[in-house]
Structure 1
Amino acid sequence: MKKILLFSISLLGFNQIEAQNFSRKDSLQGGLREERTCYDVMRYNLDIKINPTEKSIVGFNEIIFKVDDNTSKIQVDLFENMKIESIIWKNKKLTYKREFNAVFIDFPEELKKGTTQTITFNYSGNPVIAKNAPWDGGFVFTKDKKENPWIGVAVQGTGASLWYPCKDSQTDEPDNGASMKVAVPNGLMNVSNGRFLGSTDLKDGYTRWDWEVKNPINNYDITVNIADYVHIHDNHEGLDLDYYVLRYNEETARKHFDNDVKPMMNCFQSKFGKYPFHEDGYKLVETPYLGMEHQSAVAYGNKYKKGYLGNDLSGTGAGMFFDYITIHETGHEWFGNSITSKDIADMWIHEGFTTYTETVFIECVKGYDEAIRYINGSKFNVRNDRPIIAQFGVNKEGSGDMYAKGALLLNTIRHIINDDEKWWKLLYDYSETYKKQIIDTKTVIDFFNKESNMDLTPVFEQYLTTTKIPKLVLSKSGGKLSYNWENVKDTFKMPVDIVVNEKTIRLHPTTSKQEMKIDKKIELENIEVKTKQFFIKIEKK
């Protein structure tokens, strides 16, 4: 698994997040207990057959793991609707107990710390079918317009154990990657993560397609994509670019991807570092659902349109020159796939940073002003319905505000730092420092504090753990301007810039009222607050 950096969330005051009632099932899926922490997954070798007519899976996952603590029992996860055929260790059938989606496996002898063990988990069944992928987890079994089967899967949040046995926790990824051998009916192709190793005709009406990932990989990133695909290959400065698209979309795809992918790679690699999974290559795979950040096999379903299915999520028009799904889902290769949150309660680490990559791409191509126009348009997507950070240990995500509000938080921090050279170096170093690691919010905040030489903790806490947007209150009496923050925690402090007579002045408000001298002739309504640079509200009185 990746190196895991764990800290106590309570140190940040995040224990103020309102607790909800969760079940034993939730804690089994989202929590850490000895049966999970006692072993470290080294590799998955998945070998399955998918029947499109029956919508079924049969096969096995070979799980290779290192024992971190002496144990005779481990937890592996598989949804309770899927059948366990057998679990084999050293040619012996193991006994197990199922509790909801958790499988507690007993060994006939104690496994010693430091040893490497292998189990073969044989299973079968009909996996959950998504009602509205990728927003709910499951398989999509459909057909293309030529009536060929077209199959995909998206399970982020719901759990990868929906369709294959694994340690279904973001705290553990296989150190040595994974192999995916997927047999599908002749005439169809399966595309999974990493490099294509070859195909084998099984002489039973099925062909097996073999793929391998050499890097650690999130459980929810492991994928299958089954269709009548054609393969388009390209290369950009030594990075393999591969596109797998429906046969009748080949010419459209060639032109469409050529417009965005290479400029995107130039931008992202300059701002965030070298593509993290160079050994596994980069792929876009056409899917029957909108998209998902499947590592080195990004799911693409934006129908070859600009924006988000032909619309600009920012409402400004600034997002209509690029394909949203290509840019956003690829941004996840750095933020989500390379840098991973240890608990989905911290998914803003994936989504906030990745949503910000859209703004970064616009700035690379169109400049600062267009980027600022785009990100400010996203303010209208912020609901402030609940905190961005959710409860830990119960497989619970926070508010969808993790996208737009998370990106606006980063834009605010950029302008707090007020030094673009320092900002871009910080973002680049953050991506490189925690490359292929599993982290939490405190790790992010500590890094930003150290590299900026500022105390940004109150800012992160305000935007991530409350639903309140800071309000700057301004009032004027004679030659004095008064200012303070409201709608914030008592400990909140954040600098903000105002413009007076075309001169930018930095204020350092707190919750206590402060004053500064100002020309008596200046009217309060003529004082501009830089709300495009800082995600705040204003009250002048």
Structure 2
Amino acid sequence: MAEETGVVLSTTPRRPYFPTHGDDGYRVEHYDLSLDYRIAANRLGGTARLSAEALGPLDRLSLDLGPFRVGAVLVNGEVARFTHRGGKLHVAPGRLRAGPFSVEVRYSGSPRPVSSPWGGLGWEQLTDGVIVAGQPTGAPSWFPCNDRPDDKAGYRISVTAASPYTVIANGELASTRRASSATTWVYEQTEPMASYLASVQVGRYQRAEPAPGIRLAFPARLASRVRHDFGRQDRMMEVFGERFGPYPFTSYTAVVVDDELEIPVEAQGMSIFGTNHVDGVRGEERLVAHELAHQWFGNSLTVADWRDIWLHEGFATYAEWIWSEASGGEPADDLAARWHRRLAALPQDFVLADPGAPRLFDERVYRRGALTLHALRRAMGDAPFFALLREWTAGHRHGSVTTEHFTALAARRTVQPLEKLFSAWLYGPRLPDRPGQLHSPTL
């Protein structure tokens, strides 16, 4: 590590965790996805139109795409040569100058999840419908993309499916059109979005809007439980708005699929839960808070590099503690003490700011990340700490962030020396001592 102007920086070379994903020769400005899905047969036909910008002259570019049959690729409206193997669609467009260009890919097949150390990622059949959970590398399971978290774009997602089913995707519903036994649903996501956050949910859902801009979709048989368990989201919005700044999107949808899920899933403007997360007594409300917080930390502010995932999961976990305080539950001090004891009993071999790809979803990313924020809050005090979070979300709204961005901002916004704190919590393998007790746990 090195210190520069009071900021702790890592000197470790930034090698990507998923080097086969993404292409740094261009950026995508907009995806237009037109999909036709046959649920019983699990058959997807798609046309993807990408508006992009070459960052320099290109005679070759690549897209990430799963094992579909590719019928044609057009670049700037002209047929282009391509090869497709190993999850990469390599396109030879001739000579492209730096600047805007377009790509169209026509493809079809049976979507299946992308294999990973954490199981299948992306498009997955449910008992009666579809869930898409793309983090971190599942987007190529259903559309061709530049699959890197720092390449954020606008989206139009059109899905045609059998009319008894509801289709939910990112953004705002622009139109529905029924023709014979199928309905086409069109969604517009205007705020920039990373490819892994793009999502489509297909199921037999009842829909509700219990508060302006807050939406629910769920199996009809679970209506009363869902309405109760998710009934305090409007208050969560108020609390998080005070602590983190204004909600960064137009609306928010919580989807409860008619299957059990190991964990809830985040997407931009949307979270997805299983039936096992709904019990009618708010037994899993901390997860409701966690997923909502990801709209600030993960979706609006998205890591530029996966090694910084604590900026998503540590912040969302700390949001659970903030909600606990605000709703009359355990204060953050008590939660910090409990989790510090648990982490202290684990091997002391974990570096929060660079956990390594196999540990991307290690519990210590979540809990040590939250403890780091609690330590920072304890060092700064409540008012400066929450002012820092609001400035953090405002300054990087809909952008890409790194650990160094955050530590630099924190160092500029307090007279307290933070180098030792960040060095120990972010870059040291040994768990630091527990943060001291807060005197004023709420604003």
TM-score when normalising by structure 1: 0.72
Which residue of 2 is the match for residue 74 of structure 1? 61
Q: 1:251 aligns with which of 224, 242, 246?
A: 224
Which residue of 1 is the match for residue 441 of structure 2? none
**Letter of the aligned partner of 2:222 in structure 1?**
N
**Letter of the aligned partner of 1:186 in structure 2?**
S
Q: Is the 8 A contact 1:388 1:398 kept in 2?
A: no
Q: 1:51 aligns with which of 23, 29, 38?
A: 38
Shift of 1:201: 2.5
Q: Specify whether residues 463 and 181 from structure 1 end up closer, same or farther in structure 2 by C-alpha distance, changes over 3 A only.
A: same
Q: 1:112 aligns with which of 69, 91, 97?
A: 97
Counterpart CA distance in 1 for 2:117 and 2:40 is 20
Counterpart CA distance in 1 for 2:358 and 2:102 is 27
Q: Is the 8 A contact 1:180 1:192 kept in 2?
A: yes
SS class of match (1:165): coil
Which residue of 1 is the match for residue 354 of structure 2? 390
Shift of 1:132: 11
**Letter of the aligned partner of 1:252 in structure 2?**
R
Counterpart CA distance in 1 for 2:26 and 2:373 is 36
Counterpart CA distance in 2 for 1:69 and 1:76 is 17
Matches within 5 A, 1:172-191: 172-174=151-153, 177-191=154-168
Counterpart CA distance in 2 for 1:431 and 1:124 is 39
Q: Is the 8 A contact 1:136 1:155 kept in 2?
A: no
Matches within 5 A, 1:194-205: 194-203=171-180, 205=181
Shift of 1:396: 7.8
SS class of match (2:132): strand
Q: 1:222 aligns with which of 178, 187, 198?
A: 198
**Letter of the aligned partner of 1:28 in structure 2?**
T
Q: Is the 8 A contact 2:150 2:194 kept in 1?
A: no
**Letter of the aligned partner of 1:111 in structure 2?**
L
Gaps of 5+ in 2: 439-443
Q: Is the 8 A contact 1:305 1:323 kept in 2?
A: no
Alpha-carbon displacement from aligned partner over 1:223-266 (angstroms, at most 9, x marks no partner): 11111111102334xxx1111111222233223322x2111011
Counterpart CA distance in 2 for 1:395 and 1:64 is 33
Q: Is the 8 A contact 1:64 1:119 kept in 2?
A: yes
Counterpart CA distance in 1 for 2:349 and 2:85 is 33
Q: Specify whether residues 432 and 96 from structure 1 end up closer, same or farther in structure 2 by C-alpha distance, changes over 3 A only.
A: same
Q: 1:378 aligns with which of 339, 356, 368?
A: 339
Counterpart CA distance in 1 for 2:115 and 2:230 is 28
Gaps of 5+ in 1: 1-6, 31-35, 144-148, 311-319, 472-528, 534-541
Which residue of 1 is the match for residue 269 of structure 2? 296
Matches within 5 A, 1:405-424: 405-417=368-380, 419-424=381-386
Which residue of 1 is the match for residue 147 of structure 2? 168
Matches within 5 A, 1:360-375: 360-366=322-328, 370-375=331-336
Q: Is the 8 A contact 2:48 2:143 kept in 1?
A: yes
Which residue of 1 is the match for residue 399 of structure 2? 437
**Letter of the aligned partner of 2:124 in structure 1?**
V
Counterpart CA distance in 2 for 1:215 and 1:151 is 24
Q: Is the 8 A contact 1:27 1:395 kept in 2?
A: no
Q: Specify whether residues 28 and 129 from structure 1 end up closer, same or farther in structure 2 by C-alpha distance, changes over 3 A only.
A: closer
Q: Is the 8 A contact 2:314 2:365 kept in 1?
A: yes
Counterpart CA distance in 2 for 1:185 and 1:122 is 21
Q: How many residues align?
A: 428
Shift of 1:395: 9.6
Q: Is the 8 A contact 1:67 1:112 kept in 2?
A: yes
Does 213-222 or 447-456 show the bigger shift?
447-456
Matched, 1:123 2:107: yes
**Letter of the aligned partner of 1:229 in structure 2?**
Y
Q: Is the 8 A contact 1:139 1:153 kept in 2?
A: yes
**Letter of the aligned partner of 1:285 in structure 2?**
V
Q: Is the 8 A contact 1:87 1:94 kept in 2?
A: yes
Q: Is the 8 A contact 2:353 2:403 kept in 1?
A: no
Alpha-carbon displacement from aligned partner over 1:256-277 (angstroms, at most 9, x marks no partner): 322x211101100111111101
Matches within 5 A, 1:224-243: 224-236=200-212, 240-243=213-216
Q: Is the 8 A contact 1:285 1:300 kept in 2?
A: yes
Shift of 1:398: 6.9
Q: Is the 8 A contact 2:112 2:124 kept in 1?
A: no
Alpha-carbon displacement from aligned partner over 1:304-349 (angstroms, at most 9, x marks no partner): 547xx98xxxxxxxxx776122111110000000111111111111
Q: Is the 8 A contact 2:264 2:274 kept in 1?
A: yes
Q: Specify whether residues 325 and 262 from structure 1 end up closer, same or farther in structure 2 by C-alpha distance, changes over 3 A only.
A: same
**Letter of the aligned partner of 1:222 in structure 2?**
A
Which residue of 1 is the match for residue 286 of structure 2? 324
Identity percentage over the alignment?
A: 21
Q: Is the 8 A contact 2:42 2:110 kept in 1?
A: yes
Aligned alpha-carbon RMSD (Å)? 3.1
Which residue of 2 is the match for residue 273 of structure 1? 245
Which residue of 2 is the match for residue 509 of structure 1? none
**Letter of the aligned partner of 1:40 in structure 2?**
R
Shift of 1:213: 0.8
**Letter of the aligned partner of 1:13 in structure 2?**
S
Counterpart CA distance in 1 for 2:183 and 2:65 is 26
Alpha-carbon displacement from aligned partner over 1:480-505 (angstroms, at most 9, x marks no partner): xxxxxxxxxxxxxxxxxxxxxxxxxx
**Letter of the aligned partner of 1:100 in structure 2?**
G
SS class of match (2:430): coil
Q: Is the 8 A contact 1:244 1:284 kept in 2?
A: yes
